[in-house]
A and B are shown apart, each in its own frame.
Chain A
């Protein structure tokens, strides 16, 4: 028997009992709607959460601290950095050193008042900073190379002038004014700060070369709000500062960075890399400690919502089983006749399974269409309600952030259709087996 013939037979059986078929399909429609809507709400929560987390910081960055360093503990030095860099999941490592007070950066009469951080400039491109002007440094850099943060451009002020404003300045129309110093083109000079005003030592200023301006992005770590310079050069300058200002260095203290930033290739590897670093004896922090419980919480919510939907589809499955079993009792004689006329049992089983699967599929299609409508409605209600501070976004807490309380991706549509069909098919198993067991003789018997 041909498959198309089997499908045609099923359709004619379904159409013969229109109301019963419609009611059975309605059960599947409700079940599918429940599942899809519930999961879409769960995904909406997840999406809002993700965008919230993204705003809070780079989720793949781990901060390493060396707070409780003792003389016997492993130092967080260049050797250690090599070991960390050797971890396969690690894509970038940079130590961070903040020595803003040890030197002065000037451009003509303007003096820089912001922070200066020593970093591994070659690691910056892997950390992925947005550039306003210029470019991130490549693999090789000159030691006088610097990068300036977008905000930092406005931290060049004239110390002679009173009431200087720091930070971005805007004109009457709200457009940002150009900073006083054009860091890309103007001459920038660094000189060691002399703390004692009676110290008459002369320091020769060094010319710095700014190769780019980084876009303000507070989610990045380290945040590009100040000036980045090569950390090794910064160490040199610090030594010089100590010499000029007569600061005694503690020779017994091992060289160790206080803060190192690591970027990991994937969000799912953050926890394991953190564990490795903790093994070495350092403290770490990352968004993982916030993300993990939030993610677990959102997974729980999704499971509860999906479970509620699944229950209604389960009820629908019982409906299909009931309808099909009833129709088999009614069609006992027909089934017997088909057997007498030479229909093999495989075809009889297939016909009942197809019939059940068709109920599932049709229910699934209508269910998905209705859920799509419901999703659009929910989202428009949420965005209207968001303005007045209440509404649905209020109920789901996160709605206002992502803008969508309900998200239906393509996989959910396909998954729902497949699931509804499979539920239909599974519901058809028992009735189909009953149909197969009906004796051919039932066609002959006279009631």
Chain B
């Protein structure tokens, strides 16, 4: 049974008199624990797909069912509660609260859920250790580099142990070296907690971190394949043996 079922999803934007078809007819199923990359050029409709899957936008047609709930049918209040319980987010521009420390930022999803201060601080500290920011706990976003801020963002996305984490161009603002660090941490965390990760990118190198790559062109899925290259030790060091057990090692291409 799939965790996410996207069925006949269509999204048409109206700009003045013109109609922009962002998503034509998307069908997609994602299993629990899968790391799924949505790959496509700019303007292909990746973000639109991710936003609709996360319930941030309503589709023109079609449905998105997450764990049995059709999120396109929920109202704003139900969606907020649904996101509290099931969904984590990693943003391209980090989007940390400027007035809050790293701990407070990471603890925020727990605070919205009504978790007490002591408990959520403990969880946040644990997450910050996991992203190797134990020295930055009390720092504010402006006192951290982009890579560090995105690690805080990742800690925040995973702290509430959501079923799914959505990441839209998480490394879009980072340099190559930092991108590698951040991707390893994020993918590692998804594997550690057996969480589903939907990763949106235009960058083929980043797609290599996923189990499965869905290629989108002009609002249509043109290719949906398992990613064999993840078995390469060089791409994801230390992850290969772990994944080799569950992977479907057909052929080792490219």
Are A440 and B56 within 8 A (Cβ)? yes
Q: How would residues 87 to 121 of chain B score, 1 for a CB under 8 Å from any chain A CB and 0 otherwise?
A: 10101110101111000000011011110110000
Judge whether A341 and B108 touch: CB under 8 Å. yes
Q: Using A1-B114, A337-B91, A444-B51 as known contacts, say yes or no to A16 and B80 having CB atoms under 8 A apart.
A: no
Residues of B within 8 A of A443 (CB): 91, 95
In the complex, which of the residues A15, A334, A343, A441 contacts B112, with contact meaning CB atoms closer than 8 Å? Answer: A343
CB within 8 Å for A12 and B56 given contacts A342-B83, A344-B80, A347-B112: no
**Complex Cα gap A440–B156 (Å):** 17
B112 touches A345 (CB 8 A): no
Chain A residues within an 8 Å CB radius of B83 = 340-342
Of A13, A15, A338, the most chain B CB neighbours within 10 A belong to A338
Q: How many A-B residue pairs have CB under 8 A?
A: 71
Q: Which residues of B contact A337 (CB under 8 A)?
A: 91, 95, 97
- Which residues of A lie under 8 Å from residue B92 when comparing CB positions? 446
Q: How many B residues, CB 8 Å from partner?
A: 32
Smallest CB separation, B1 vs chain A (Å):
25
Q: Across the interface, do A16 and B87 meet the contact criterion of CB distance under 8 Å? A: no
**Interface readout for A1-20 with B: 1 if CB under 8 Å, 0 if not?**
11011000000110110000
Contact A343 B95 (CB under 8 A): no
Instruction: State how many angstroms separate the Cβ of B116 from the closest Cβ of chain A.
Output: 7
Report the separation of the CA atoms of residues A136 and B84 in the bound assembly, to the nearest whole angstrom: 79
Given contacts A441-B56, A444-B168, contact A343 B80 (CB under 8 A): yes
Question: What's the least CB distance linking A442 to chain B, in Å?
Answer: 10
Assess whether B76 is interfacial by the CB under 8 Å rule: yes
Instruction: Establish whether residues A344 and B81, one from each chain, have CB atoms under 8 Å apart when the complex forms.
Output: yes
Which of chain B's residues have a CB closer than 8 A to the CB of A16? Answer: 98-99
Are A344 and B77 in contact, CB atoms less than 8 angstroms apart? yes
Inter-chain CA distance A347–B111, complex, in Å, is 11
B residues within 8 A CB of A342?
A: 80-81, 83-85, 87, 109, 112-113
Residue of B nearest to A344 (CB): B80
A263 within 8 A of B: no
Q: Which residue of B lies closest to A339 (CB)?
A: B80
0/1 interface trace, chain B 51-81, chain A, CB 8 Å (1 if under):
1001011000000000000000000110011
Report chain A residues within 8 Å CB of B27: none
Rank and list the top 3 A-B pairs by shortest CB-CB distance, nearest first.
A342-B84, A342-B83, A344-B80
